[in-house]
Amino acid sequence: MARLNWGMIGGGEGSQIGPAHRLGAQADGNFVLAAGALDHDADRGRAYAQSLGVAPDRAYGDWQEMLAGEAGREDRVDLVTVATPNSTHFEITKAFLEAGFNVLCEKPMTMTVEEGEEIVKIAKASGKICAVNYCYSAYPMVREMREMVRTGQVGRVRLIVTNFSHGHHGDASDADNPRVRWRYDPAMAGVSGQFADCGIHALHMASFIAGDQVRTLSADFASTIPSRELEDDAMVNFRMEGGTVGRLWTSSVAIGRQHGFDIQVFGETGGMRWRSEEPNQVYYTPVGGRTQIMEKGEGGLSDEAARLSRVAIAHPEGFPLAVANIYVDLAASIRGARRDGLPTAEHGLRSMAAVHQAVASAKADGAWVDARPPSLR
Ligand code: NAD
């Protein structure tokens, strides 16, 4: 099968998420990095793209130059990844969708709900794929949990408890470090700090595994380091359309926790637990029975978990391969297949609505609010 041409915006040298995209997109031979505007500094971006094998005429200085350059080519990129800081996602994603490109946008997809609604509309009108990188949902054992819920193995889901709490911004003496400070500055980060940064991964995963959507929420936000205008800790209670009760804690001051993303799903006939730091195992307990450890790569897992697992049982398979699973499904979708696990612009929009409604709830002392975007109520 012919390789697909792939372009990247952001994710330059030294960026946090850039390497995971490059490893992920190119892991399965589906995509080749053909074009890029990788850095906010044009010269650095051009030089770095060329060092990664991009032809000089497709190593662009900025995304506008890339849009103009790629739009006119017969071998234009089949997919554009947007891995720039949050405040730029909307205009770049919008421009590329309108010009007929497929887009994978980093989370959060936009800064406002209105922008999110617009991206969903443009994506629908263009007929192009607009995916959002909720990559944790592509771990094989997370897919296994979703299949277990779907096939009734834990019964109706009563309760989901999830955390995405780390301690990497817990040092008050480092709060003014420019790499940390912007995340709590509304001018750079928008209306929410930690919840928009990490909490939305947990909220998305709760919906993903339960096969249901968040309907209402009540939030308590705190800036535990007082110089921070935006929250560095949040507790969000939620209810899903089907009645599932949700509890979500997200924090960046939980010193001692490293990555700190985990989820527990409690159904009428069983419970399950998964942790990002131990992503190859799901702990499953049937009601009245013993806890079992289910391993990625073992026999008897769902087709979906087997499809997305490539390394033999007991060998580590981590974050870049979860990102690779997003690209596997993107490549299949671009080639015309349907992949129902792929996170879309609609998921990106739901997250933005949840973020803005959580801010409103926190300002109203935790009042319960409708978490859904206006167009999906
Ligand atoms: P970063 O600051 O480490 O890197 C950003 C990169 O984008 C840099 O190379 C910078 O030069 C480049 N850049 C900035 N503005 C640009 C522009 N206008 N045009 C081209 N390049 C530009 O940031 P990061 O931590 O890699 O985060 C980038 C995005 O990825 C954010 O939206 C973040 O929320 C998201 N992210 C997602 C995950 C995930 O798990 N899905 C993890 C980390 C980050």
Distance in angstroms (rounded) separating the CA atoms of residues 368 and 363: 11
C-beta of 15 in contact with ligand 1 (< 6 A):
yes
Q: Determine the distance separating the centroid of ligand 1 and the alpha carbon of 89, expressed in angstroms.
A: 10
Residue nearest to atom 17 of ligand 1 (CA): 40
Distance in angstroms (rounded) separating the CA atoms of residues 186 and 13: 26
Q: What is the pLDDT along the chain (377 residues), one digit of tens a residue?
A: 899 999 999 999 999 999 999 999 999 999 999 999 999 999 999 999 999 999 999 999 999 999 999 999 999 999 999 999 999 999 999 999 999 999 999 999 999 999 999 999 999 999 999 999 999 999 999 999 999 999 999 999 999 999 999 999 999 999 999 889 999 999 889 999 999 999 999 999 999 999 999 999 999 999 999 999 999 999 999 999 999 999 999 999 999 999 999 999 999 999 999 999 999 999 999 999 999 999 999 999 999 999 999 899 989 889 999 999 999 999 999 999 988 899 999 999 999 999 999 999 999 999 999 999 999 99
**Burial class, 280, CB count within 10 angstroms (exposed 0-12 / middle 13-18 / buried 19+):** buried
Residue nearest to atom 3 of ligand 1 (CA): 15
Would you state the pLDDT for residue 317?
86
Would you state the pLDDT for residue 316?
87
Q: Model ipTM?
A: 0.99
C-beta of 88 in contact with ligand 1 (< 6 A):
yes
Give the closest residue to 27 by CA, choosing from 321, 319, 305, 309: 321
Chain center to CA of 317: 18
Structure-token pair, residue 212: 């249901």
Distance in angstroms (rounded) separating the CA atoms of residues 80 and 75: 13
| 46: Cβ contacts below 8 Å, ≥ 6 apart | 56, 59, 60, 61
C-beta of 133 in contact with ligand 1 (< 6 A):
yes
Would you state the pLDDT for residue 230?
98
Domains, the chain, with CATH or none: 4-135 (3.40.50.720), 138-311+344-363 (3.30.360.10)
C-beta of 267 in contact with ligand 1 (< 6 A):
no
Measured from the CA of 89, which atom of ligand 1 is nearest?
Answer: 32
Residue nearest to atom 43 of ligand 1 (CA): 17
Would you state the pLDDT for residue 296?
96
Q: Determine the distance separating the centroid of ligand 1 and the alpha carbon of 86, expressed in angstroms.
A: 7
Residue nearest to atom 14 of ligand 1 (CA): 40
C-beta of 173 in contact with ligand 1 (< 6 A):
no
Residue nearest to atom 41 of ligand 1 (CA): 133
Would you state the pLDDT for residue 337?
93
Count of CA atoms in the C-beta half-sphere (13 A) of 67: 17
Distance in angstroms (rounded) separating the CA atoms of residues 90 and 213: 23
Would you state the pLDDT for residue 96?
98
C-beta of 7 in contact with ligand 1 (< 6 A):
no
Probe target for ligand 1 pocket from 8, 13, 17, with the most ligand atoms within 8 Å of CB:
17
